């Protein structure tokens, strides 16, 4: 027998094992100043491409005013208690009605947090007799929800409709034995690649198989579709997607989440989603602030137009310079490069220190060895100048990467934790 903590002290995990050189720089960096396209990192201004602030609302003057007034009116604690017991308000219901109308569903349930909320929704939706079929590259929150499931679950290859159908056939055989139903889970926009979930082909399978469909549209809500109502709106299948989940973090510059769908099913979730029944209600400062944000999203299409201007300028500029940005059809902009961990961190350090560009990089073990993915998030807050400076920086640093300039034995020691 050993002390539970011994393993953790010996092994901090695949990323944590580099914390002596990475903490505070490559991991857990501290950005300072007003949230926006320009912020300070270690005292120096950087162009930031790592904020999920698609519509630029987080620091919009109207939003800041609404948030400040709501905070002065309610404080951070109001209401106290869960929605079921003592934390329900007319404003919570008003926001739910606004969201329902916007995404064209009968009813909506507000959730305190996206990650925790969708996990708990999945847990409530399925019993041990039911079967889950999900995309293999589904977000961690969806996978953790699947892990809570006491019944069978089958994954299909990412966006592979033939494999999705094969797993539906397996699920169909299983529920014939258990007497349960089938829940298919996918995403609207995949946050690493920017690829859209193949919703049209998935809903077409409803003609052959009986299942319900839940989509996580965290990266689509507010950004995708003619009105910003999401990826299912963009693909013209809103009436075929049974349950629509999204968060207020990506486009809305806030916190919290929601799930929308048939009124009777949302009522069921209100009484059975454990993360809401046994947790404090979403604070009124967030709720009232979200009502203002939704008003702006509905009446200010120029926010979404500016976002897509910046998305197209950045993505077209990268493609024109020979960069591989994969199959993205969303604001998420991955840049795929070849190199090992020391090369990736060396390139990040160069682009941050010498070109003043701050963006996120993804390496092994999140992706296979020998690959590097830069993940850029263009927003409505970026300027053409931000984009042009960034394109020049990427062009120059890629030449250095290809020439071997970043080759090293280990990652640079940039840690602040000693």
Residue 383: inside a domain: yes
End-to-end Cα, the chain, rounded Å: 31
CA 103 – CA 237 distance, rounded (Å): 11
236, 266, 299 — which closes off a domain?
299
Sign of CA dihedral 133, 139, 140, 145: negative
Residue 145: inside a domain: yes
pLDDT band of residue 3 (cuts 50, 70, 90) is very high
On whether the CB atoms of residues 183 and 211 are closer than 8 A, the answer is yes
In a shared domain, residues 123 and 257: yes
In this predicted structure, the answer to whether residue 392 has a pLDDT above a threshold of 70 is yes
Residue 82: inside a domain: yes
pLDDT, position 418: 43
Nearest in space to 99 (alpha carbons), one of 222, 269, 184, 213: 222
pLDDT, position 365: 66
Q: Give DSSP secondary structure letters for 274-322.
A: HHHHTSPPPPHHHHHHHHHHHHHHHH-HHHHHHHHHHHHHHHHHHHHTT
Q: Residue 175's domain is classified under what CATH number?
A: 3.40.640.10
**Assigned token pair, 52:** 């999920």
In a shared domain, residues 42 and 78: no
pLDDT, position 86: 94
Nearest in space to 185 (alpha carbons), one of 146, 214, 158, 156: 214
pLDDT band of residue 416 (cuts 50, 70, 90) is low
Q: What is the pLDDT of residues 295-337, one digit of tens each?
A: 999 999 999 999 999 999 999 999 999 999 999 999 999 999 8
In a shared domain, residues 44 and 157: no
3-state secondary structure of 95: helix
> How many domains is the chain partitioned into structurally?
2
In a shared domain, residues 8 and 89: no
Lowest mean pLDDT among 224-228, 247-251, 363-367: 363-367
In a shared domain, residues 288 and 306: no
248, 265, 299 — which closes off a domain?
299
Range of the structural domain that residue 251 is part of: 61-299
pLDDT, position 339: 82
Nearest in space to 186 (alpha carbons), one of 256, 226, 229, 237: 237
In a shared domain, residues 65 and 77: yes
Question: Which position has the higher pLDDT, 237 or 23?
Answer: 237
pLDDT, position 21: 80
In terms of phi and psi (left: phi > 0; alpha: psi -120 to 50; beta: otherwise), the region of 326 is: left
CA 390 – CA 162 distance, rounded (Å): 39
In a shared domain, residues 156 and 249: yes
Residue 11: inside a domain: yes
**Assigned token pair, 330:** 């969303």
Instruction: Kindly tell me the number of DSSP H helices and DSSP E strands found in the chain.
Output: 15, 14
Report CA 240 to chain centroid distance, whole Å: 22
254, 283, 299 — which closes off a domain?
299
Question: Which position has the higher pLDDT, 131 or 14?
Answer: 131
In a shared domain, residues 174 and 214: yes
pLDDT, position 346: 87
Lowest mean pLDDT among 99-108, 350-359, 365-374, 378-387: 365-374
Q: What is the pLDDT of residues 148-190, one digit of tens each?
A: 999 999 999 999 999 999 999 999 999 999 999 999 999 999 9
In this predicted structure, the answer to whether residue 223 has a pLDDT above a threshold of 80 is yes
In a shared domain, residues 291 and 184: yes
Q: What is the pLDDT of residues 95-107, one digit of tens each?
A: 999 999 999 999 9
Burial status of residue 13 (CB atoms within 10 A of its CB: 0-12, 13-18, 19 or more) = exposed
């Amino acid at each position: 027998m050993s002390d539970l903590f011994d393993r953790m002290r010996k092994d901090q995990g695949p990323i944590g094992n580099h914390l002596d050189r990475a903490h505070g720089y490559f991991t857990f960096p501290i950005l300072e100043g007003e949230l926006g396209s320009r912020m300070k990192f270690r005292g120096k201004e950087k162009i930031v491409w790592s904020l999920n602030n698609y519509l630029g609302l987080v620091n919009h003057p109207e939003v800041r005013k609404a948030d400040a007034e709501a905070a002065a009116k309610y404080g951070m604690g109001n209401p106290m208690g869960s929605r079921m017991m003592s934390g329900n308000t007319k404003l919570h219901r008003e926001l739910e009605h606004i969201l329902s109308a916007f995404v064209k569903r009968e009813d909506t349930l507000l959730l305190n947090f996206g990650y925790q909320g969708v996990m708990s929704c999945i847990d409530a939706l399925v019993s041990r007799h039911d079967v889950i079929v999900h995309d293999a590259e589904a977000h961690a929150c969806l996978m953790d929800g699947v892990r809570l499931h006491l019944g069978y679950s089958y994954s299909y290859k990412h966006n592979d409709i033939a494999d999705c159908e094969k797993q539906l056939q397996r699920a169909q055989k299983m529920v014939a034995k258990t007497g349960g139903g089938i829940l298919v889970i996918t995403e609207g926009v995949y946050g690493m690649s920017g690829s859209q979930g193949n919703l049209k082909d998935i809903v077409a399978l409803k003609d052959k198989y009986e299942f319900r469909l839940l989509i996580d549209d965290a990266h689509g809500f507010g950004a995708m579709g003619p009105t910003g109502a999401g990826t299912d709106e963009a693909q013209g299948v809103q009436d075929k997607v049974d349950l629509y989940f999204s968060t207020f973090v990506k486009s809305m510059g806030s916190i919290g989440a929601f799930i929308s769908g048939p009124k009777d099913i949302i009522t069921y979730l209100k009484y059975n989603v454990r993360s809401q029944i046994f947790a404090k209600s979403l604070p009124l400062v967030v709720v009232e602030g979200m009502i203002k944000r939704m008003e702006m999203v509905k009446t200010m299409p120029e926010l979404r137009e500016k976002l897509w201007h910046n998305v197209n300028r950045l993505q077209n500029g990268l493609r024109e310079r020979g960069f591989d940005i994969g199959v993205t059809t969303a604001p998420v902009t991955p840049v795929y490069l070849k190199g090992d961990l020391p090369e990736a961190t060396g390139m990040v350090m160069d682009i941050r220190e010498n070109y003043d560009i701050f963006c996120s990089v993804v390496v092994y073990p999140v992706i296979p060895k020998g690959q590097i993915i830069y993940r850029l998030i263009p927003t409505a807050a970026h300027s053409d100048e931000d984009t042009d400076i960034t394109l020049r920086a990427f062009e120059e640093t890629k030449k250095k990467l290809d020439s071997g300039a970043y080759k090293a034995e280990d990652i640079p020691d940039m840690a602040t934790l000693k």
